[in-house]
Amino acid sequence: MYPITRYWYKNCPLCGHEGELFITKKESGQLYLQCAECFWACDDPAAIADSSKGYVVDIDEYMQRARAAVPTLEEIEAAGWAKYCQHEEVADGPSDFV
């Protein structure tokens, strides 16, 4: 179960670059970027400079399925998102998701 490696792209443009934009997976399997601090999200990594192209994810909904929302490196590569894996972080337990 743990540890889990999470991959992230850049710092969030919305919350003043305090949070990391983690590659996250929707229940449908679609990948998107989500800020670890303010929960702003964007479906298109090329659009992150324009915060109006994103949306805020409901924190309670995300926390209920946080572990399932972490795509594997294989899933990221299959979706063509490998170039957005610019950083990685190892989550040792559920508390690392908040």
Q: Is it the case that residue 94 has pLDDT exceeding 60?
A: no
> Which whole number is the average pLDDT over 43-64?
85
Sign of the Cα torsion 74, 76, 78, 82 reads negative
Question: What is d(CA 32, CA 72) in angstroms, rounded to the nearest whole number?
Answer: 13
Question: What is d(CA 93, CA 71) in angstroms, rounded to the nearest whole number?
Answer: 16
- Distance between terminal CA atoms of the chain? 17
Question: What is d(CA 42, CA 21) in angstroms, rounded to the nearest whole number?
Answer: 9
Residue 3: the pLDDT is 84
The tally of CA atoms less than 13 A away on the side-chain side of residue 80 is 3
Q: Are 14 and 51 in contact (CB under 8 A)?
A: yes
Q: Kindly report, residue by residue over 19-49, the tens digit of the pLDDT.
A: 999 999 988 899 999 998 998 999 999 999 9
pTM for the structure as a whole: 0.85
Q: Is it the case that residue 7 has pLDDT exceeding 90?
A: yes
How buried is residue 37: exposed, middle or buried, by Cβ count under 10 Å (0-12/13-18/19+)?
middle
